[in-house]
Amino acid sequence: MNDEMHKYLKAVGSRIRCELNDLKRTTESAAKELEVPLKDLKDIIEGKKDEETTFRFIDRLSDFYPIDGKQLYLLKDDTINGIRYMGSSASYKSRRVFNRKSKSGELKPYYEYRDTAMSRLCLFKPEWILMLREVNDFDPYNPDMVLNKGHNLHQFGLFVGPVNFYWEDINGINHCTKMQTRDSNYITPFLKHSFTTRDANELAYIVACTNGGEVSRAQREAYALGPELLKNFILNFRSKNEASIQLLKQYIFNDIHSLDSIDKLLKSFDKKLDIYKIISTDTAITSYEYEVLSSILKVEVSDLVFPEYREEDDMVLNYNSSTKPHSYPSIENPRYLIHQCAKTSKMPFLKGSIIEVLCTETDISYPIKRSLHTYMINFGKSEINLEYKYKDKIYKKKLYPYDSIYLKPFIQFALGNPSRGKSNLFCVGISGSMNLAAQKELSTLAEPPRVITELQEWY
Ligand SMILES: [Fe+2]
Q: How far is the CA of 129 from the centre of ligand 1 (A)?
A: 10
Round to whole Å and give the CA distance between 103 and 143.
Answer: 5
Query: Separation of 153 CA from ligand 1 center, angstroms?
Result: 8
The pLDDT of residue 260 is 97
Distance 383 CA to ligand 1 centre (A): 28
pLDDT of residue 454: 85
With a cut of 70, list the residues of the chain below it in pLDDT: none
Ligand 1 center to 307 CA (angstroms): 25
Q: Give the pLDDT of residue 151.
A: 94
Q: Residue 458 has what pLDDT?
A: 87
Ligand 1 center–CA 192 separation, angstroms: 8
Give me ligand 1 centre to Cα 189, in Å: 9
- Per-residue pLDDT of 338-347, as tens digits, reads 999 999 988 9
Residue 385, pLDDT score: 98
CA of 150 to the centre of ligand 1 (A): 7
Q: Residues 16-65: pLDDT tens digits?
A: 999 999 999 999 999 999 999 999 999 999 999 999 999 999 999 999 99
pLDDT at 1: 77
Ligand 1 centroid – CA 208 distance (Å): 7
Centre of ligand 1 to C-alpha 55, Å, is: 36
Residue 282, pLDDT score: 85
Query: Can you give the pLDDT at residue 281?
Result: 80
Percentage of residues in the chain having pLDDT higher than 90: 94
